[in-house]
């Protein structure tokens, strides 16, 4: 049995998928399997997947959550890792995960995390937030306030299989999943940024599409966690954190709508965001919205 199972949902980005898979095959730690979960055979360049550690499965649902759930069911490894089909791993990521797991006694009830390295289109890179027990109150609050991403995490197979990604949600679904896992589990942060989160024009979250539907999906997932999992966050975070989070999501989509010259939606989302209160830390986003709205 492999030590790691790396689950990659694949959807209509075959060239990027090959880069993602190759970044796993180039790992310095060799004991892994790769599960590519696809919903369109055109996504796969099957002839290139000759390494016996790669397995492919078809998912009928056009949904990242469903693809990841199928991957969790089919995984044979002791620990699960996730990789989006447009991102890549640093070559030493799995080795770093293994070394950390070994150091802390191969836990079955916690999550080990690397940092996200944000790779921007202009070749700039920015290091994402890192969880620090001496700085952050708790893991739940950190995940709610910072882009964490299940893709940055290594999860014991028994723990991962005790939960499922909620297939009702297209966005914020990985945060929803991770928060539920962390209620009873520890979060161990590694000191590196070994997950390369790449920004590009074909990103699903950045494509135009129906921005209102995307915003509504984000808000629905947040609202569901707030209302239906209150026992998991009460006493750890204040309810106002959810009001602020939803305001930030509306502001983010207001900016995208303004850039897409959809002034009606942009104005509506911006006003809804402001109703939650002015957020001084978002002054750059406010300026970005005003600039895009006036240019539209």
Whether the per-residue pLDDT at 57 is higher than 80: the answer is yes
Q: How many CA atoms lie within 13 A of 91 on its CB side?
A: 2
* Chain segment 201-254, per-residue pLDDT in tens: 766 554 556 899 999 999 999 999 999 999 999 999 999 999 999 999 999 999
Looking at residue 296, its pLDDT comes to 73
The DSSP line for 158-198 is: HHHHTS---TT-SSSHHHHHHHHHHTSSEEEE-SS--EEEE
Exposure string for 254-290, b = 16+ CB within 10 A, e = fewer: bbbbbbeebeebbeebbebbeebeeeeebeebbebbe
User: Angle 64-65-70 (CA atoms, 0-180°, nearest 5)?
Assistant: 95
Look up the CATH number of domain 4-198.
3.90.550.10
Query: Which whole number is the average pLDDT over 184-201?
Result: 93
More confident call, 239 vs 49: 239
Cβ contact 279:241 at 8 Å: no
Q: How far apart are CA 106 and CA 156, in angstroms?
A: 9
* Chain segment 117-152, per-residue pLDDT in tens: 999 988 899 999 999 988 898 999 999 999 999 999
Query: Per-domain residue ranges for the chain?
Result: 4-198, 211-295
């Amino acid at each position: 049995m492999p030590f790691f199972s790396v689950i990659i949902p694949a959807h209509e980005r075959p060239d990027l998928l090959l880069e993602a898979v190759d970044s796993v095959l180039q790992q310095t730690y060799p004991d892994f399997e790769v599960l590519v979960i696809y919903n369109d055979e055109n996504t796969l360049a099957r002839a290139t997947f000759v390494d016996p550690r790669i397995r492919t499965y078809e998912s009928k649902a056009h949904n990242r959550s469903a693809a990841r759930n199928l991957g969790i069911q089919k995984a044979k490894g002791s620990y699960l890792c996730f990789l989006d089909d447009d991102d890549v791993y640093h070559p030493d990521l799995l080795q770093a995960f293994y070394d950390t797991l070994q150091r802390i006694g191969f836990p079955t009830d916690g999550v080990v995390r690397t940092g996200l390295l944000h790779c921007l289109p202009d070749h700039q890179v920015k290091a994402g937030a890192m969880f620090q027990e001496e700085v952050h109150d708790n893991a739940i609050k950190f995940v709610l306030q910072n882009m964490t991403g299940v893709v940055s995490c290594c999860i014991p197979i028994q723990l991962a299989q005790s939960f499922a990604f909620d297939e009702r949600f297209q966005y914020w679904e990985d945060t929803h999943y991770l928060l539920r896992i962390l209620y009873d589990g520890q979060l161990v942060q590694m000191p590196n940024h070994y997950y390369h989160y790449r920004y590009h024009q074909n990103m699903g979250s950045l494509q135009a599409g129906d921005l209102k539907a995307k915003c509504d999906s984000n808000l629905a997932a947040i609202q569901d966690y707030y209302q239906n999992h209150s026992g998991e966050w009460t006493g750890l975070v204040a309810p106002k954190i959810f009001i602020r989070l939803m305001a930030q999501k509306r502001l983010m989509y207001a900016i995208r709508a303004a850039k897409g010259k959809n002034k009606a939606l942009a104005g509506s989302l911006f006003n809804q965001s402001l109703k939650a209160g002015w957020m001084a830390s978002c002054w750059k986003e406010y300026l970005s919205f005003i600039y895009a709205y006036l240019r539209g």
